[in-house]
Structure 1
Amino acid sequence: MKNIHITMLFALLAHFAFAQNSLNGTIKDKENQEPLEQVSIYFPQLEKGTVTNADGYYEINNLPTGKFKIVVSYIGYQTYSQTLEILNKSTKLSLELTTSAIEMEEVIVSTPFHKLQRENVMKVERSSIKELQNAGAINLAEGITNIPGVESVSTGVGIGKPVIRGLSSNRVLTYTQGIRLENQQFGDEHGLGISDAGIESVEVIKGPASLLYGSDALGGVLYLNPEKFANTNDVDGDINLNYFSNSQGINGNAGIKASSDKLKFLARFGGSSHVDYKTGSDERVTNSRFNEKDLKTGLAYQLSHFKTEVRYNYNNSELGIPEEIGEQSTDRNAIEPFQNITSHILSSKSNIYFNNSSLQVILGLTNNNRQEFEDHHHEEEGEEHEEGEDHEEEEGEDHEGEEAALDMKLQTLSYNIQYNLAKIGAVETIVGVQGMNQTNENYGEEVLIPDAITNDIGVLATSHIHFNKSDIQLGIRFDRRTIDGEENGIIGDEGYIAALKRSYNSFNLAAGYKIDLSKNIISRLNVASGFRAPNLAELTSNGSHEGTNRYEIGNENLDNERNVQTDLSLEFQNEHFEFYINGFYNSISDYIYLEPNGTIVDGDAVFLYQQQDANIYGGEAGLHYHQHPLDWLHMESNFSIVNGDLKNGGNLPLIPANNWTNTLRFELAKVNENLYNGYGFITLKSYFAQTRVSDFEMPTGAYSLLNLGFGATVAISNQPIEIKLSANNILDKEYISHLSRLKSDGIRNIGRNINLGVSIPL
């Protein structure tokens, strides 16, 4: 028996070592038969690809046996997407691509079957980080607001968190490096907490994705795709620098990546520094300054039937918490109150490819340390500054050695194991198990949430069924969450938190249908349920939260939030015109919200966590037009509307104002040998007045912002240099966003901001 086991082991090793296949061919222009250079040939499931050389030739080695999706894409041409069967040692695939003015399609990673957008049953918004940066965004949280249906709750310009169709905080789950990002996102003033350096693209699932991701995906998912490793036997590098005039902001990063046939490596280091931003009235918002340091690195090893990669991200952010228009300063050092947040994100992803099936295992370990330093602690310790003292000394004060008033350490171990079954006819199926173990510990004198342990586990199954002109996707999932919180304080004292032991179960279903009504028209219908277990703040809070100026009291008897959302979309697309309209209706049971009870504690209004059924509804509509022969000129328009109502007739808080964006842009692939990839745009984004507000919110007036920009790649002595220039709020408009947390203090948003950027590939 022992000999049999040894023989089987060697046979398996031989299978992995020697069952290696290759794919090669040429890519040409269908019209003139000229070879196309730098065409991307990519296997999404294998995460492996290459580009064509000057003769249009490509070759990919070490491919497993089986059927895999292949995507061939090139700017200005129709994207080719088919399932290719790899059976022989050498398979050939040569193609002729047809020109198209429609933008190049990309593979959607956040949904389980890795399909192009037109092939997906679920509509997912996707945007490259480069597109968001070209629009002049200071950071990732601001950049995502260029995606229809997505906004950001902001505290100045340094702190922002995503809002998807009116839902935010713990109702929107962020994924990075293939794992969930956990950084105490329950807080209103707790930002996204990740740098856009080393991020390739962002995908947004607008609606409940609990089937795919579990609790906290009730409102949607923000999925951040890290930059890919270099193609086989390539070495790439780049340096990127940005300057922002309004906040005198400096942003930069540099990266290098190299790949052999089996081993791949990449590293990127970046950072940014900003002073207090100026409003449209030319006043600086005191303590809106922020600084960030970021490191991302990765290592991968790939054989024909096996691939594994490890990625690590270190991020440290020092974020001022603005409260007033006070001292006008351009100092970059933190003054109190401010946050100091350090995150370590370690992830591993391993894939084993069998004949027509595969197994994927993703593990993640996230350590998040959130510290908040508050100015009132100096007063309590008698550290008063006499009048006439040098204020610069206070602003440049070294905070090392000072104890943080709030010091929370959150450690999250997550796992995601999925098996992609062998395809049976037109049916693809994935089964999996996901979960996490999370530990929260307090080290400061203030305790917002208690020391606690949270455990999640969920099992899921989802299938995609392909017909001739339609597709169906079905899914089912069961989850269980347990929360064990420790007692904090003394019974009867202010701020006392009782011990907590709760468990939550949820059963969810999802169904979707996509049909090609004609060659140019697609319609999608999706119905999905979702859930969210109450977080520790909602269950246990009992004290003042300095970042929000509220005294919050939790409710340990809160139930799961549960929702059912229906999405209906219609899309038309031909060579020169695109149009879409999406509508949704989201019915939420036991929606958790804060409501003031009219009392005051220590100068702060008391807010209680309540539950009530709610409805959110609205949608997006847009068009994209580019008329022949002016294919380089594009006219785009999109409109977003969201409404949120409580069952008792009140309005939900933090519902974005309806907005309408109109853009005129041009793209020139090549002007001459030394000037190419040119673009330019002018955008008018109009926000309507928001008067449907909750009882403790203020209405917001209408305003419009004018933005413009242009850029190109310039070749200097054969060295390409990408240059971009943009100006946001070019008319220096004074305005207050409805989702600004500084609105109640009458503090306006950022005024005119000019961004100059340079990128140098090495």
Structure 2
Amino acid sequence: MNKLIISFLLAMSFSFANAQNQVSGTILDASNQQPLEQVSVYFPQLEKGTVTDNSGAYQINNLPTGTFKIVVSFLGYQTISRTITITSTNVTFDVSLTESAIEMEEVIVSTPFHKLQSENVMKVAYASVTDLQNKGAITLAEGITKIAGVENVSTGIGIGKPVIRGLNANRVLVYTQGIRLENQQFGDEHGLGVNDAGIESVEVIKGPASLLYGSDAMGGVLYLNPEKFAIPNTNSGDVNLNYFTNTAGVSSNAGFKTSSEKLKFLVRGAYTTHTDYQTGNDERVTNSRFKEYDIKTGMGYQSTNFKTEIRYNFNSSDLGIPEEIGIQSTDRTPMMPNQTIDNHILSSKSSLVFSKSSLDLSLGYISNIRKEFEEGEEGAALHMNLNTFNYNLQYHLPKMGILETIIGAQGLHQTNSNFGEELLIPNATINDFGFFGTSHVHLNENNDVQIGLRFDHRGINTEQSGILGEQDYIAPINKDFNSINAALGYKVNFLNSFIARLNLATGFRAPNLAELTSNGVHEGTNRYEIGNENLKNEQNLQTDLAIEYKNQHFEVFVNGFYNSINNYVFIAPNGNEIDGNQVFVYDQQDANLYGAEAGIHIHPHPLDWLHLESTFQSVRGKLKNNDNLPLIPANSITNTFRAEFSNKDSWVKNGYSFITLNSVFNQDRISTFEDATDGYTLLSIGLGGTVSLFKTPLNVRITGNNLLNKEYFSHLSRLKYDGIANIGRNISFGISAPF
């Protein structure tokens, strides 16, 4: 394996001397044959593209010889995906686009074959970060809850982590900059740790994705796509400002990017600050304030057959840990207890393109420095440094008729080191290695199959902590976990407008360090936790059936799933107390989760600007002994009335407005140590668009969430146990301007 990586790195020092080809053409409106400006023309595999000029013309240079997928997309028109073969120096590819009220399709990056969602065998949810911001999300962790089947375990507004179909923490894998994010995600009060500045879109795989990503992806994957580099021979910059009335919060960022024909560069800096949030009772939640600094930068090089990029992200957060409604203050500096988190993410992604195949290598290094401070103590009571190196090597084999195949190897080396007085988990070393193969079989125009197989190994070694015989002693462990996983999917198009997908996939998760080794008071949860070194792999099988119907003016989908998990790890009280803290112990038992997401979208003719949307989501989770699983989201239904205005002669371009009612049902199907929560309904209203000021286009938006100032308790809020409600009325103002 090492020799293979070294050979790849050596190959990065040169480009192959193949002909530098060019694809050009004209994009027209199919109804009137008028040219279309600013249409995106993009080669997903090559990550290279451009936009059309005012005459509808485009040109993409320095392309390798071979067969590649090309995607043509433009807002308000049907997205076109074609495969073209480049065998000569100059290739002409003209397209006529048909108007469509259906949203523009995007290329899905989190699955390996660079296909549009309509072409994918696996259903993947997609949302642009701009759309999430338009809905008034304060943080990225809150924004993803707008996606059906995705929720958020929260500690106030500054700390949140994703929940996909009832699974969270180490059961959901987060990818950013093309690498897996490791930031002690096992902890309930450990947030997502990613600022939305410089993130272009979010993709969610709702189900086991261990075949593609290995351990910890058994519940799904949250895939964050960074902003793209500028198209060749252009540069651009922008400034973005947001203000939130509830917290007097300010979120700002500015970025610049430039590209020549081969070299690329971008940089973006962001700053966020919030005071304590107010509940529906207009009481401020003491110490829910937080501050965040973020910088993202990247450099890239692309020639005919070779491309590479390096990206770096530094994120520094200072987060208060709220415990009560006490001092009513608008201070911005967190009080104790609080946590400071510094994340350094360095990644590289490189590709070599041959005439009929390609080789991709992603490398990543993440340094996560977490410190927790407690009242009355000097210095950090808890100080953990988590350092992770990971790699992902994939070879796209030459296409054989209807068969596309990818083989690959992935792995990581991780160390955890403690420097504080308290110990949450011991010093440890983790090593992962896995290899896989997956194939997409395009049987005919209407039938596709995807299959795959994978083997993984994880080794965990920890050091002894404490003194043998004393209460807080943690014994050293040396354990290995192995797993074989498979996936099978089938997609069929039928009756012109229907698509059905059936996916069966297994996944696994090795127990994390907290589950194996905990022995002490977890200050974030105020309980004494005891680990279990005899825990086995979690192994699951999920069946997912999705059916959707779509025409020009009506869409409906139903997506049902059944997830069977062997050796599900859970924590529960054993009835004892240590030093006044209730004792919780880790154990295992088989479990099942099942549920569905469904939705309808109507945009009636001739009122194509009008959109009526409704989505419903439900999940149940039960242990084998019939006890309910904890942290299962309540059923909910979201109804939205949305209008879009794109009249070129209007003073507002790309205008929109919406009214949303989010109704959450009672959640009384709870675990033995949870409290039931009542249902509630929240009203949101928003509007925005692009206006011109001194010939400068400004994107403006105003969004009001929980406009009726409802006092409510989310079932996934960790503060509900202290009688602390979620955020009350919040009106956000946003403006974005180019420079």
TM above 0.5, one fold? yes
Deviations 1:351-394 (A, max 9, x none): 000012100000000000000001143xxxxxxxxxxxxxxxxx
Deviation at 1:16, TM superposition (A): 2.1
Deviations 1:691-750 (A, max 9, x none): 000000000001010001000100112100111000000000000000000011010000
Q: Who is 1:458 aligned against?
A: 434
Q: Which of these residues, 384, 389, 393, is aligned with residue 408 of structure 1?
A: 384
Deviation at 1:494, TM superposition (A): 2.0
Matched, 1:723 2:718: no
Q: Who is 2:587 aligned against?
A: 610
Matched, 1:698 2:675: yes
One-letter amino acid matched to 2:387: Q
- Tell me the secondary structure at the aligned position of residue 713 of structure 1: strand
Matched, 1:517 2:494: yes
The answer to whether the 8 A contact 2:498-2:549 is kept is yes
Q: Who is 2:475 aligned against?
A: 498
Deviation at 1:604, TM superposition (A): 1.4
Q: Which of these residues, 381, 403, 417, is aligned with residue 441 of structure 1?
A: 417
Deviations 1:540-591 (A, max 9, x none): 0000010111110000000000000000010000000000000000000000
The answer to whether the 8 A contact 2:557-2:598 is kept is yes
For the aligned residues, what is the CA RMSD?
1.1
Deviation at 1:602, TM superposition (A): 2.1
- Tell me the secondary structure at the aligned position of residue 467 of structure 1: strand
Deviations 1:225-264 (A, max 9, x none): 0000000001011000000000110000000000000000
**Equivalents in 2 of 1:681, 1:490: separation in Å?**
61
Range 662-671 or range 31-40, more displaced: 662-671
**Equivalents in 2 of 1:31, 1:206: separation in Å?**
38
- Tell me the secondary structure at the aligned position of residue 167 of structure 2: coil
**Equivalents in 1 of 2:263, 2:345: separation in Å?**
22
Deviation at 1:632, TM superposition (A): 0.3
The answer to whether the 8 A contact 1:543-1:553 is kept is yes
**Equivalents in 2 of 1:274, 1:300: separation in Å?**
35
Cα distance change of structure 1 residues 485 and 13 upon mapping to structure 2, 3 Å threshold: closer
One-letter amino acid matched to 1:420: H
Deviation at 1:139, TM superposition (A): 0.4
Q: Which of these residues, 700, 703, 724, is aligned with residue 747 of structure 1?
A: 724
Alignment of 1:94-109 (within 5 A): 94-109=94-109
**Equivalents in 1 of 2:602, 2:72: separation in Å?**
25
The answer to whether the 8 A contact 2:538-2:567 is kept is yes
Deviation at 1:662, TM superposition (A): 0.3
Alignment of 1:40-59 (within 5 A): 40-59=40-59
The answer to whether the 8 A contact 2:621-2:628 is kept is yes
**Equivalents in 2 of 1:14, 1:405: separation in Å?**
50
The answer to whether the 8 A contact 1:65-1:355 is kept is yes
Range 417-426 or range 601-610, more displaced: 601-610
Q: Which of these residues, 638, 645, 654, is aligned with residue 677 of structure 1?
A: 654
**Equivalents in 2 of 1:325, 1:89: separation in Å?**
69
Q: Who is 1:645 aligned against?
A: 622
The answer to whether the 8 A contact 2:662-2:681 is kept is yes
Q: Which of these residues, 393, 411, 423, is aligned with residue 417 of structure 1?
A: 393
- Tell me the secondary structure at the aligned position of residue 170 of structure 2: helix
Alignment of 1:592-631 (within 5 A): 592-631=569-608
Matched, 1:432 2:408: yes
Deviations 1:674-693 (A, max 9, x none): 42010000000000000000
Deviation at 1:533, TM superposition (A): 0.1
Q: Who is 1:20 aligned against?
A: 20
The answer to whether the 8 A contact 1:412-1:437 is kept is yes
**Equivalents in 2 of 1:220, 1:301: separation in Å?**
32
Deviations 1:613-664 (A, max 9, x none): 0000001000100001100000000000000000001000000000000000
Q: Who is 2:147 aligned against?
A: 147
Matched, 1:761 2:738: yes
The answer to whether the 8 A contact 2:20-2:64 is kept is yes
Matched, 1:240 2:228: no
Deviation at 1:18, TM superposition (A): 4.6
**Equivalents in 1 of 2:550, 2:308: separation in Å?**
39
Q: Who is 2:568 aligned against?
A: 591
The answer to whether the 8 A contact 2:15-2:303 is kept is no
Deviation at 1:495, TM superposition (A): 1.3
Q: Percent identical across equivalent pairs? A: 63
The answer to whether the 8 A contact 2:18-2:65 is kept is no
One-letter amino acid matched to 1:714: V
- Tell me the secondary structure at the aligned position of residue 211 of structure 1: helix
Alignment of 1:532-543 (within 5 A): 532-543=509-520
Alignment of 1:28-47 (within 5 A): 28-47=28-47
- Tell me the secondary structure at the aligned position of residue 646 of structure 2: strand
**Equivalents in 1 of 2:322, 2:343: separation in Å?**
23
The answer to whether the 8 A contact 2:172-2:218 is kept is yes
Cα distance change of structure 1 residues 48 and 444 upon mapping to structure 2, 3 Å threshold: same
> How many residues align structurally?
728
In structure 2, stretches of 5+ residues that fail to align are 1-10
One-letter amino acid matched to 2:505: A
The answer to whether the 8 A contact 2:36-2:56 is kept is yes
Q: Who is 2:5 aligned against?
A: none
- Tell me the secondary structure at the aligned position of residue 112 of structure 1: coil
**Equivalents in 1 of 2:719, 2:355: separation in Å?**
57
Deviations 1:310-342 (A, max 9, x none): 000000000100000000000001110001000
- Tell me the secondary structure at the aligned position of residue 570 of structure 1: strand
The answer to whether the 8 A contact 1:566-1:585 is kept is yes
The answer to whether the 8 A contact 1:43-1:68 is kept is yes
**Equivalents in 1 of 2:569, 2:130: separation in Å?**
36
**Equivalents in 1 of 2:527, 2:433: separation in Å?**
34
One-letter amino acid matched to 1:570: I
Q: Who is 1:667 aligned against?
A: 644
Deviations 1:471-517 (A, max 9, x none): 00000000000000000110111211101100000000000000001
Deviations 1:39-76 (A, max 9, x none): 00000110000000000000000001111111000011
The answer to whether the 8 A contact 1:674-1:716 is kept is no
**Equivalents in 2 of 1:726, 1:662: separation in Å?**
16
TM-score, structure 1 normalization: 0.95
Q: Who is 2:8 aligned against?
A: none
Q: Who is 2:288 aligned against?
A: 288
Cα distance change of structure 1 residues 603 and 211 upon mapping to structure 2, 3 Å threshold: same
Q: Who is 1:489 aligned against?
A: 466
One-letter amino acid matched to 2:106: E
One-letter amino acid matched to 2:423: V
Q: Which of these residues, 481, 484, 507, is aligned with residue 507 of structure 1?
A: 484
TM-score, structure 2 normalization: 0.98
Matched, 1:738 2:720: no
**Equivalents in 1 of 2:291, 2:365: separation in Å?**
25
Alignment of 1:234-383 (within 5 A): 234-377=234-377
The answer to whether the 8 A contact 2:503-2:545 is kept is yes
In structure 1, stretches of 5+ residues that fail to align are 1-10, 378-401
- Tell me the secondary structure at the aligned position of residue 547 of structure 1: coil
One-letter amino acid matched to 2:311: R
Deviation at 1:13, TM superposition (A): 10
One-letter amino acid matched to 1:276: D
**Equivalents in 1 of 2:140, 2:86: separation in Å?**
39
**Equivalents in 1 of 2:540, 2:13: separation in Å?**
48
**Equivalents in 2 of 1:376, 1:15: separation in Å?**
60
Q: Which of these residues, 539, 545, 562, is aligned with residue 522 of structure 2?
A: 545
The answer to whether the 8 A contact 2:15-2:306 is kept is no
Q: Who is 1:394 aligned against?
A: none
